[in-house]
Amino acid sequence: MAAKKIYIDANVFLAAGNPAEEQHKVCLDLLREVQERRLSACTAALTIDEVVYIAKKYSNREQAIATGFALLEDPLLDIVCVTRELAREALALMNTAKFEPRDAIHVAAAMNKGVSVFVTLDKDMPSIKGLKKSTPAEMLK
């Protein structure tokens, strides 16, 4: 049986990497499910930018870059390229829903990959028809 394919938002990776974060353990557990091939995961190239940018604030530049490379080189994480067409889809989403630009790119990337579940810690992210929004804890139930 094929593993369920999910989209992982940048905030899940950030929480997994920060032991002080309230959702740290459940985010680590979700990523472990991917590493053990019980879930199949993708994220946008934009996630690497977001993770490195925030990681630089809590560590140093070298560690932040190493974190970015770790995501990029994970063979079990499908990285979605942000192309001109994907950017166009993201702008169209912003036109029809109350998405912020980065959120719209993430959602367009998820839809582009045909995933049915968008895993995020962002409670304020609008819903979109055909894409279930889930927290890591909900995903692990």
- Over range 17-30, report the average pLDDT: 96
The Cα–Cα gap between 78 and 19 comes to 25
DSSP character at residue 128: B
Reported as a pLDDT band with limits 50, 70 and 90, residue 76 is very high
Q: Which domains does the chain have, with CATH numbers?
A: 4-135 (3.40.50.1010)
Over the stretch 8-17, which tens digit does the pLDDT of each residue have? 999 999 999 9
Closest by CA position to 133, among listed 99, 82, 101 = 99
Closest by CA position to 57, among listed 100, 14, 24 = 14
The Cα–Cα gap between 56 and 131 comes to 31
Strand 39-44 relative to strand 4-8, pairing = parallel
Which strand ranges, in their side-by-side order, compose the sheet holding 117-119? 77-80, 39-44, 4-8, 117-119, 132-134
CB–CB of 119/8 below 8 Å?
Answer: yes
DSSP character at residue 69: H
42: β partners: 7, 78
The Cα–Cα gap between 87 and 73 comes to 24
pLDDT of residue 103: 95
pLDDT of residue 94: 94
